[in-house]
Amino acid sequence: MSNCKKLLLLGAGGHCISVLDSVMETSEYDNIGIVDKSVSRTDTGNVSAYLQTFILGDDNELPRLFSEGYTHAFIAIGSTGNTAIRRKMYYMLKEIGFIIPNIIDKSAVVSKSVKLNDGIYIGKNAVVNALSVIGSGAIVNTSCTVEHECEIGDFVHISPGVTLCGNVCIDEDSHIGAGSVIKQGIHVGSNTMIGMGSVVLRDIGSGVTAYGSPCKEVKV
């Protein structure tokens, strides 16, 4: 039986393709639309053509769409080291009154003991193990492993193929590059960029860029 839930996705870029694909594999939403400030109402674009959905307009139309029954909205814009846009959209949606759901791909494995806040995307074949905590607006991307008791802060992006061993803590707004491995018990500060393929064996501070094997903070 239909639950008559309508979902808006904000952003029509590459990350939206992954999010839409995960959503379309479920029967949770009866109507899905895309809102993007850079496209017109008549421009279907690659994303909507790929998944046979449509662009409804730009951000200015969010209050109207909310009044028309689109009660759920999700930020489908990715981030690489700058989460300002995602944060701004998150609070805008909250102010309008939207419910910001979690979107978890059906192939992902998430322990029942994991604490999930809202607005989280967990991609294909990702694993989030027991007693971990995932903050609001976080992205746990394709084929990540987040082991037991990890803490992932708000708006963190864990890129494809990352392995976080047990008890790793990643503070808010940080980005962990694709294929990186972080040793158990490591703490990565906020607003930090870990370059792809890094092996993190020591704590990394806040507001820095770090990369390499072993991973080291660098001046940029």
Q: Put the strands of the sheet holding 121-122 in their side by side order.
A: 103-104, 121-122, 139-140, 157-158, 175-176, 193-194, 209-211, 216-218
Which amino acid does the sequence have at 149? E
Residue 48: its H or E element: helix 45-51
> For residue 24, which phi and psi values (nearest 5 degrees)?
-70, -15
In the residue annotation, 148 being an active-site residue is answered as yes
Which amino acid does the sequence have at 20? L
Q: Are 178 and 195 in contact (CB under 8 A)?
A: no
Burial (0-12, 13-18, 19+ Cβ within 10 Å), 24? middle
Which amino acid does the sequence have at 35? V
Annotated active-site residue in 15, 72, 148, 175: 148
Q: Determine the Cα–Cα distance for residues 214 and 211; give it in Å rounded to an integer.
A: 8
Q: Determine the Cα–Cα distance for residues 156 and 191; give it in Å rounded to an integer.
A: 9
Tell me: cis bond preceding 63? Omega within 30 of 0 counts. Answer: no
Active-site residue set: 148
